[in-house]
């Protein structure tokens, strides 16, 4: 356990940030999963609609610094490519 006042504050800050980051990651994963389920089901229209929402959530997650920008771009590109493969 921390003994200095500043260390105690840092522990509190880390706890708050961790909880916030977990929330953002969970939200992002949920939206990505919706797209993936639509892709597996072969429903292109549903996948495109879900992708539109997921793309925004992924970008916001990266903008807040929860995930790196490159990872967000890669995830978005791969989902988009998977949707384009559907006929």
Number of structural domains the chain divides into: 1
Q: Residue 50 sits in which domain range?
A: 5-85
Are 61 and 67 spatial neighbours (Cβ–Cβ below 8 Å)? yes
pLDDT tens-place string over residues 34-78: 999 999 999 999 999 999 999 999 999 999 999 999 999 999 999
Q: What six digits make up the tokens of 64?
A: 């807040």
CATH code of residue 40: 1.20.58.110
Query: CA distances (Å), 29 to each of 1, 6, 9, 24, in order?
Result: 33, 34, 30, 9
| pLDDT value of residue 32 | 98
| pLDDT value of residue 87 | 73
Length of the chain as a residue count: 87
Calculate the CA 2 to chain-centre distance.
32
Q: What six digits make up the tokens of 68?
A: 């790196």
Q: How confident is the model at residue 21 (pLDDT cuts 50, 70, 90)?
A: very high
Q: What six digits make up the tokens of 60?
A: 């916001």
């Amino acid at each position: 356990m921390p003994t200095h006042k500043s260390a105690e504050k840092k522990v509190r800050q880390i706890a708050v940030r961790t909880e916030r980051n977990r929330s953002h990651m969970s939200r992002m994963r949920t939206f990505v999963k919706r797209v993936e389920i639509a892709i597996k089901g072969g429903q292109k229209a549903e996948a495109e609609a879900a992708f539109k929402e997921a793309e925004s959530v992924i970008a916001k997650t990266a903008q807040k610094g929860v995930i790196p920008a490159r990872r967000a771009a890669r995830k978005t590109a791969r989902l988009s490519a998977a949707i384009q493969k559907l006929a």
